[in-house]
Amino acid sequence: MAVKAILDKEVIDLDMVAEDKESAIRFLSELLYKAGYVSDIDGFVKDVFVRESEGITGIGNHVAIPHGKSDFVKKVGIAIGKTKNMITWESYDEQPVHYIFLFAVPSDNENATVHLKLLSELAGKLGNEQTMEKLEACKNFSDLTKAFE
């Protein structure tokens, strides 16, 4: 299976409106809830912030990868949001972010190995400079799938 198989239009918004970190994570969590990836928005958001308190998720180049391992995740997924404005976020390059990849991972992931593997491959691509340049130019879902090909 290709990495792009894990991308789901339902949980991607490249014209996201969010003022701050809290509202961005909440907005993406709501998308995940509506699309059936998570069972409880508040519970999931809380677990994402537990991970946030453990270390930096701003990976540089204005990208952040918050991730929640949570009992409220029904299936592995990744919500993606891009804002026009920059959002203050703890980052390795000390810059704010405008591209947010919210990873949803179930606490018990024994049956999710295939999807977790895709998630790890996608994460790997975020460490690749060429992919990051392509991402910056993405305008829509189809661009995004190409960037991850």
Partner 1 sequence: MKIVGITACIAGIAHTYIAKEKLEGAAREMGDEIKIETQGSIGIENALTPEDIAEADVVIIAADIGITKDRFKGKPVIEIPISLVMKSAKGVIKKTHEKLER
Q: Give the nearer residue to partner 1 in terms of CB position, either 57 or 83.
A: 57
Torsion angles phi and psi, residue 50, rounded to 5:
-60, -45
How large is the greatest C-alpha to C-alpha distance in the chain, in angstroms?
38
Cβ of residue 132: shortest distance to partner 1, in angstroms? 10
CB of 26 closer than 8 Å to CB of 19: no
Please say which residue, 71 or 121, places its beta carbon nearer to partner 1.
121
Q: What's the min distance (Å) between Cβ of 130 and partner 1?
A: 9
Residue of 62, 67, 98, 115 with catalytic role = 67
Alpha helices (runs of H) in 64-149, residue ranges in sequence order: 113-125, 129-136, 141-147
Shortest Cβ 117–partner 1 spacing (Å)? 6
Footprint on this chain of partner 1 (rule: CB under 8 A): 51, 54-57, 59-60, 65, 67, 69, 92-93, 103, 105, 109, 113, 116-117, 119-121, 123-129
Asked if 100 and 33 touch (Cβ cutoff 8 Å), the reply is: no
CB count, 10 Å around CB of 42?
Answer: 11
List, by residue number, the catalytic residues: 67
